[in-house]
Amino acid sequence: MDVSTHGTLRTPEEGVPKTGRRGCEHPWTQPDFRPQGEAETAGIGHAGRAAAGGHSIRRCGRGKGGLQMRGKREICVLLAAALLLFAGMPAAATLDSELIETIDVVDEAEIYEQGEPTGAVDVTPLFEVTSPSAILMEQSTGRVLYEKNPDEPLPPASVTKVMSLLLVMEALDSGAISLEDPVTCSEVAAGMGGSQIYLEPGEVMTVDELLKAAVVASANDATAALAEHVAGSVDTFVAKMNARAAELGMTNTVFKNTTGLPTEGHLTTARDIAIMSRELMKHEKIKDYTLIWMDTVRNGEFGLANTNKLVKTYQGITGLKTGSTSEAKFCLSATAERDGMGLVAVVLAAPSGKERFADATKILDYGFATYEKRVYEAGAIDPMKVLRGTQPSVALAVKNPQVEVVVPKGSNQKISTKVEVCEDLQAPVDKGQKVGQISFYLDGELLATSDVVCQNDVPALTFAALVLKGISQLFGICEPV
């Protein structure tokens, strides 16, 4: 969806840039920014077409070229005859096409635009990362702020556990499991190998202890035990992991196991890892584990140390997960929050553990130094015409009028909005019914969207009322609305 005009919003005194509408010869204006002196009632639903030089429905009545009426008496006779004529017709009967044309006709999808560019802020990164694949994504909006080969499929090592942990947290939130549940370790879980807490077959631990071990120490045996508790078996859990990845739009991901241990075909990308990391961080409870530096399980007998060294060194760190194997090299999904803005930095296949953390630090520093999150208030939208309704129009509203956007610091509010509404809105109309969408742009880049909805119900006219309305407009008894 291209935006032809962007930038600083103009005040009513300054006027508004006008945008042509497909199929219309005259431009029209965004209703929030109507120039001074324009009549508020110039047009209903389509931004005051008459006053703005846009389309309006032809009016019939006295005057040059109009229909000359002999008097109210003749009009009443005509109306009475029409009602008698149509009284016996079934409700589903079709009105004459010429008569329909005198009733409200809504033009093609209408687009409001506002804003013009005021000069881009330079956000060019002044650093280099050694990792061959990396990405920086803002958590709440999903906006990508930095990327380097973000869609290259690579083995993720234990960063795989981000998805495993997401499914566990969702099971906790749904009530399917609880933190106090006892979990009995199986032969399969005990035989995982790699990073582990050395679970024995038949050993019992709570979900809380297993979560701690999986997050802090990246324990493969604990992760497998959790998978079996949630889904019944590791294989079933892996199927759920892939299904959830598809739901999240992780198009370049295939999971073969729950842990990230080397397996042929077990691949994902930096972008997909950022997507699932965003989703996991929506569960505030996970921070109770990701921010642990050192702890124990088995009543203090077995020590745990966090594999994510940024927990001790990076301001605002909130998580998340490390991973390393000889095949995957050194990987990391790091999350941090400052001044109300959360970021996810993902690096894959770094040459060393030290460079992995250094790259993530550079990327996070760049994000916090260069960008900020703002709340953008969507303006009001003019009412929209309703065909064959008891009211001629319906009030519209933006479903989520306050939209969070991430912009470069010092960008001077270069936000553009575009509103698209449906063509022919016919009664009945329900309160809350979606009729369009508002999109928010920064220099042509889509930042966010929100639905445009109806604020009230509009019942449909009865057949008799439709006939009266059509004849009234045809004979100029009243001006059409």
Q: Which residues does the annotation mark as catalytic?
A: 158, 161, 218
φ, ψ (nearest 5 deg) of residue 281: -70, -10
Q: Which residue has the tokens 């956000």?
A: 123
What is d(CA 218, CA 321) in angstroms, rounded to the nearest whole number? 8
User: In sequence order, what are the residues at sequence separation of 6 or more whose Cβ sits closer than 8 angstroms to the Cβ of residue 481?
Assistant: 44, 104, 392, 393
Return the axis-axis angle of helices 234-247 and 161-174, rounded to nearest 10°.
90
Q: Is 373 annotated as a binding residue?
A: no
Could you list the residues known to form a binding site for substrate, using ranges.
321
Could you list the residues known to form a binding site, using ranges.
321
